[in-house]
Structure 1
Amino acid sequence: MPTSLTTLASLPDLLRLLAVPVLGWAAYRDIQTRRVPNRTWLPLGVLGLILLAVDLWAVVPPTTFTDRLVLLRTAISLGFVAPLAYLFWRLGGFGGADAKALIVLAVLFPTFPTYFLPGVALPVVVPTLGVFSMTILTNTVVLGLAYPLGVALRNVLRRDFAPVMLLGHRSEVVDLSEAHGRLMETTEGYTRSGLDLDALRMYLRWRGTTLADLRADPENHRDPTSVGETYEPTDGAVNAASGGQPSEFGGPHAPAEVTADDPWAAERFLDEIEGSAYGTDAETLREGLAVVTDRELVWVSPGIPFVVPMFLGLVAALTYGDLLVGLLGSLGLL
């Protein structure tokens, strides 16, 4: 029977377990707000670098095959998994928090840790490659694949059928002010690249109006000359200070030159804000505004917060091990 924590695992591997509550909190924040503060990752990143230095100190210069294997696995984690996270972010496949989380995990978990419990050593399934951050990533993908199946089942039970039923659900338009995700409809049909709901909130705050007011008088809002003073759009977060109210974002902007052929003042909005409204262009914004002012129900893709399956993938990796290797092995494919 273990008599101390150090008999359960090495001290570095015990310290690595701090990633579990931190990532769990980040997953909760991601579900609630789709925002994870940057400061979340700094302590784990620093811890990862310290533990990495400790591990490398023990194997440099390498004198055994095991030492060289540790160096190879570390090189794969830092030289492949971490850059892959950055690449996914650049291509739009990851959010900023998703990429930072995976990069931190690549530094913190380059090789498989080992935890000794009574009668068993965890993780149970350790692949030949032995790069723990890669296992976290593959576990994340495997668990993430369950999401569209769950969405589809929910839609079947509610008898909501559409070509996009694997990726979204129907929502009342009046609820979009506090929803996360992206519209999956245009005035002409379904789409996977509709208006981002954060961008919608940015637009409403920029105009100093609300979704209810927009729906009550769409013709007036469609007229670009109806836009007078404009306000800070914030970042579109649900709980951010609304435009037009005194806040840390400052006061209203002076009216800009009005272009008559700019329905909804969409181009003016995109020209005035700093940065990008989550990749939204003027036409996408106009289509989205036309949809939310014309319909009572719309299809919305809530988008799965990737930090959530990453947290579950980390927990699965620390206990069971590599889900994909285990699945392929059970099917006789390995």
Structure 2
Amino acid sequence: MLAATTDLLRLLAVPALGWAAWRDVRTRRLPNRLWYPLGALGLLTLAWDALGHLPVATVGDRLFLVRVGISVLVVVPLAYGLWWIGGFGGADAKALMTLAVLFPTYPVFYLASGAYPAVVTNVGVFSLTVLTNAVLVGLAYPVSLGVRNALRGDRAPVMFLGRRVDVTALPTEHGRLFETTEGFTRSGLDVDALRMYLRWRDTSLAALRAAPAAHRDPESVGETRDPTDGAVDASGIEGGTADGDVAAGDADADAAFDDPWAAERFLDEIEGSAYGTTPETLREGLAVVTTRESVWLSPGVPFIVPLFLGLCIALTYGDVLFGLLRALGVA
């Protein structure tokens, strides 16, 4: 392989981002220290390349500065803005910001079969290519999810957005419930928040399902524990299995208690908002998971996964959208 030294150094981001995508799928947690060396590498390679365009004397020099400006001054704020409005997770935004610094312009790799990436846009901002590729990969996922659900016989209004899982598997799952006791919702209980709640009251999902009426009584909550952040790999997946001393109760409705399930107490005692959970969302989610055998759950795939795939596609093929438009004679 023949390539500029800076472009070869940038390839270190591929295994790093691949590991980040794998870990984010498994745990939904990424250490902040991951981005520091990648950001430093980006600044180093960017400064190295910039020295080759000084003084700014040619059209190529000016194009380099424009492309760097778009990548750093447009893509980076865009990633931050998407995180700020809730469209991105923190790790997704940091990954895109890092790629904007690492890949402001198109790298070039020469192999025996030719030069890559094969399809280069007129704008020439590589981080934008990675982003558009990632969006296309992300859009393809609901289609594949819907086909998979249809083949399994799981047909519902949310079949293109979620998957049906056994309730007993929720302690090791990620995502958000798409169900309420009355139908479907896009703002159901986050499974990480469910784990936090179970750890807080030192119980398990199996215990709640065995005696939901008893656990609905807020007086059944004794000494509480550290809820952690709801991660699957925390010590003790659910928090405990004790609760043999919970008094038996009847199936009274939530209205029989001032604070059913001790939901308000839970949210008052913990730090943070438990992923935007409200007492009503928590109560509704608990009613669902204690009365059903399976539930619809959002796939919870972080955007860093299509971002990694978008980077891999960009480094080999190039810009998929631009290639399609060019094939149609539009670009």
Within a 5 Å distance, the mapping from 1:135-284 to structure 2 comes to: 135-242=129-236, 261-284=258-281
Whether 1:84 aligns to 2:81 is no
Within a 5 Å distance, the mapping from 1:3-82 to structure 2 comes to: 8-82=2-76
Give secondary structure in 2 for the equivalent of 1:171: strand
Q: Determine the structure 2 residue equivalent to 1:331.
A: 328
Return the alpha-carbon distance in structure 2 between the equivalents of residues 269 and 60 of structure 1.
Answer: 59
Q: Determine the structure 2 residue equivalent to 1:290.
A: 287
Moved more, 234-243 or 288-297: 234-243
Return the alpha-carbon distance in structure 1 between the equivalents of residues 109 and 48 of structure 2.
Answer: 18
Tell me by how many angstroms 1:281 deviates. Answer: 1.1
Which AA in structure 2 matches 1:145? L
Tell me by how many angstroms 1:241 deviates. Answer: 1.8
Return the alpha-carbon distance in structure 1 between the equivalents of residues 63 and 285 of structure 2.
Answer: 53
Return the alpha-carbon distance in structure 2 between the equivalents of residues 265 and 140 of structure 1.
Answer: 41
Whether 1:114 aligns to 2:108 is yes
Unaligned runs of 5+ in 1: 246-259
Which AA in structure 2 matches 1:299? W
TM-score scaled by structure 2?
A: 0.92
Q: Determine the structure 1 residue equivalent to 2:250.
A: none
Which AA in structure 2 matches 1:288? G
> Cα 1:79–1:124, aligned 2, differ >3 Å: closer, same or farther?
same
Return the alpha-carbon distance in structure 1 between the equivalents of residues 172 and 188 of structure 2.
Answer: 17
Whether 1:316 aligns to 2:313 is yes
Aligned length: 315
Return the alpha-carbon distance in structure 2 between the equivalents of residues 87 and 300 of structure 1.
Answer: 27
TM-score scaled by structure 1?
A: 0.91
Q: Determine the structure 1 residue equivalent to 2:127.
A: 133
Q: Is the 8 A contact 1:234 1:241 kept in 2?
A: no
Choose which of 96, 99, 105 in structure 2 pairs with 1:105.
99
Q: Which 4+ residue blocks in structure 1 deviate beyond 3 angstroms?
A: 242-245
Unaligned runs of 5+ in 2: 241-256
Return the alpha-carbon distance in structure 1 between the equivalents of residues 239 and 322 of structure 2.
Answer: 54
Return the alpha-carbon distance in structure 2 between the equivalents of residues 87 and 80 of structure 1.
Answer: 10
Give secondary structure in 2 for the equivalent of 1:234: coil
Q: Is the 8 A contact 2:204 2:239 kept in 1?
A: no
Tell me by how many angstroms 1:119 deviates. Answer: 4.0
Q: Is the 8 A contact 1:147 1:304 kept in 2?
A: no
Return the alpha-carbon distance in structure 1 between the equivalents of residues 35 and 266 of structure 2.
Answer: 33
Tell me by how many angstroms 1:237 deviates. Answer: 0.7
Give secondary structure in 1 for the equivalent of 2:295: strand
Which AA in structure 1 matches 2:107? P
Q: Determine the structure 1 residue equivalent to 2:253.
A: none
Return the alpha-carbon distance in structure 2 between the equivalents of residues 190 and 14 of structure 1.
Answer: 49
Tell me by how many angstroms 1:56 deviates. Answer: 1.7
C-alpha RMSD of the superposition: 1.4
Give secondary structure in 2 for the equivalent of 1:41: helix
Tell me by how many angstroms 1:206 deviates. Answer: 0.6
Q: Is the 8 A contact 1:105 1:133 kept in 2?
A: yes
Return the alpha-carbon distance in structure 1 between the equivalents of residues 44 and 12 of structure 2.
Answer: 14
Tell me by how many angstroms 1:302 deviates. Answer: 1.6
Tell me by how many angstroms 1:26 deviates. Answer: 0.8
Moved more, 304-313 or 55-64: 55-64
